[in-house]
């Protein structure tokens, strides 16, 4: 004990000496060791919801433990503090320090944000993470959000989603005409151009909306979350694949002024914890989707069907048109588009001889 006190005394003396000559260093040493922060985090998910909702709860717990209690985050589900679709604005204004949602919810404010959740017929979760962390995607994302006083951090992914629940069969492209469907992001615009109507609504509203006939179909996530919401009790036909969301990433967004107040070690803890949650969430969805899909396979009231090839061909063709229009007249969006598709193009060959080839061989 005496030795520890002696060593501690030396360290303290060294710190004082450093402070006397370098005031800036003194401030950083004090902040790193003593200052504590309490943040509020608003989300777009129902409280304690499996996968996405619990992911942000786990994020707060990891940050608390890793920081030794120096950064505590109180999580609020969608609607508890702000409406589910107003996370972006609340964090941007500084009403709260932090939010967790999907970037494509903000397409009305910043259309290119959709690239950082998902693009129809685009990257899967492996490719998205590769582009964000090693292909320049994260730098472009932060440049895009800078005018809104936000710092985005990738935080979560659900993997390839399902195509959705339908109360009628989809056999031809004509069956899309007049279809009212809950579907967000670019997928909603693609459906609209195919003759349907895209309806924006929070996930918690989906069950009642199908059940009462407000909408004819809905996509949410995949079997794990869909069963949790009881969507299998609202429509008979469950289509795949999720052409509109092949690997949707989630985001933690932090108010820039709040971010600047954190010392470097707490910033590192937040970023590392977000990466850990992405890995953990994919593990949860891989496990949960497998078990829930088996339940649906055994349910006599559910029919699991692939989309017809001609329907997918039409949707992909429309997607190319919609994506090309997004970047017209906006240099930053054009740079994001170029970077995204450049990596997707070279990744395509790698996926074909690795993941895709292996799964086809195994099956």
Average pLDDT value for residue range 193-222? 94
For residue 108, is it within any domain?
yes
- Assign residue 62 the CATH number of its domain: 3.40.190.170
Average pLDDT, rounded, for the chain: 92
Structural domain containing residue 21 = 2-158+247-286
For residue 328, is it within any domain?
no
Average pLDDT value for residue range 142-168? 98
- Confidence band, pLDDT 50/70/90 cuts, at residue 200: confident
Fill in the DSSP letter of residue 262: S
- Confidence (pLDDT) at 22: 40
Q: Which helix (H) or strand (E) holds 238?
A: strand 237-240
Q: What is the pLDDT of residues 311-323, one digit of tens each?
A: 999 999 999 999 9
Say whether 102 sits in a helix, a strand or coil. Answer: coil
C-alpha distances in Å from residue 303, one per residue of 4, 135, 169, 290, 293: 68, 40, 10, 16, 11
- Confidence (pLDDT) at 34: 82
First to last CA, the chain: 63
- Per the structure, the count of domains in the chain is 1
For residue 50, is it within any domain?
yes
Percent over 90 (pLDDT), the chain:
88
Question: CA 262 from chain center: how many Å?
Answer: 24
- Confidence band, pLDDT 50/70/90 cuts, at residue 190: very high
For residue 187, is it within any domain?
no
Q: What is the pLDDT of residues 89-126, one digit of tens each?
A: 999 999 999 999 999 999 999 999 999 999 999 999 99
For residue 129, is it within any domain?
yes
For residue 34, is it within any domain?
yes
- Confidence band, pLDDT 50/70/90 cuts, at residue 32: low
For residue 126, is it within any domain?
yes
Q: What is the pLDDT of residues 276-324, one digit of tens each?
A: 999 999 999 999 999 999 999 999 999 999 999 999 999 999 999 999 9
- Confidence band, pLDDT 50/70/90 cuts, at residue 204: confident
Exposed/middle/buried for residue 184 (C-beta within 10 Å: 0-12, 13-18, 19+): buried
> C-alpha angle with apex 228: 224 to 231, nearest 5 degrees?
95
- Residue of 75 and 28 predicted with greater confidence: 75
For residue 251, is it within any domain?
yes
């Amino acid at each position: 004990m005496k030795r520890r006190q002696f060593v501690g005394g030396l360290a303290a003396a060294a710190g004082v000496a450093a402070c006397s000559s370098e005031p800036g260093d003194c401030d950083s040493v004090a902040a790193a060791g003593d200052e504590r922060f309490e943040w509020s985090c608003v989300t777009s998910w129902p409280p304690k919801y499996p996968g996405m909702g619990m992911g942000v709860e786990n994020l707060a717990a990891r940050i608390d433990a890793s920081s030794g209690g120096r950064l505590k985050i109180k999580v609020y589900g969608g609607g508890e503090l702000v409406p589910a679709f107003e996370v972006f604005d609340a964090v941007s204004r500084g009403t709260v320090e932090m939010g967790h949602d999907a970037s494509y919810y903000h397409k009305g404010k910043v259309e290119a944000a959709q690239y950082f959740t998902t693009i129809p017929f685009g990257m899967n979760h492996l490719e998205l993470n590769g582009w964000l962390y090693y292909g320049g995607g994260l730098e472009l994302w932060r440049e895009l959000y800078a005018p809104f006083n936000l710092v985005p951090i990738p935080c979560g992914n659900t993997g390839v989603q399902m195509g959705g629940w339908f109360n009628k069969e989809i056999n031809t492209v004509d069956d899309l005409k007049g279809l009212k469907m809950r579907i967000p992001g670019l997928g909603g615009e693609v459906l609209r151009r195919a003759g349907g109507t895209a309806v924006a609504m929070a996930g918690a509203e989906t069950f009642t909306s199908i059940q009462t006939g407000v909408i004819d179909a809905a996509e949410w996530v995949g079997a794990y979350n869909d069963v949790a919401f009881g969507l299998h009790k609202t429509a008979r036909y469950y289509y795949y694949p999720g052409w509109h969301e092949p690997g949707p990433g989630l985001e933690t967004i932090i108010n820039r002024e709040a971010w600047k107040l954190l010392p470097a070690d707490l910033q590192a803890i937040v970023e590392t914890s977000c990466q850990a949650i992405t890995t953990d969430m994919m593990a949860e969805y891989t496990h949960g989707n497998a078990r829930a899909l088996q339940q649906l396979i055994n349910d006599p009231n559910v029919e699991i069907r692939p989309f017809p090839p001609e329907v997918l061909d039409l949707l992909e063709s429309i997607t190319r048109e919609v994506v090309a229009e997004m970047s017209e007249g906006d240099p930053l969006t054009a740079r994001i588009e170029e970077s995204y598709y450049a990596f997707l193009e070279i990744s395509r060959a790698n996926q074909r001889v690795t993941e895709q080839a292996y799964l086809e061989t195994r099956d």
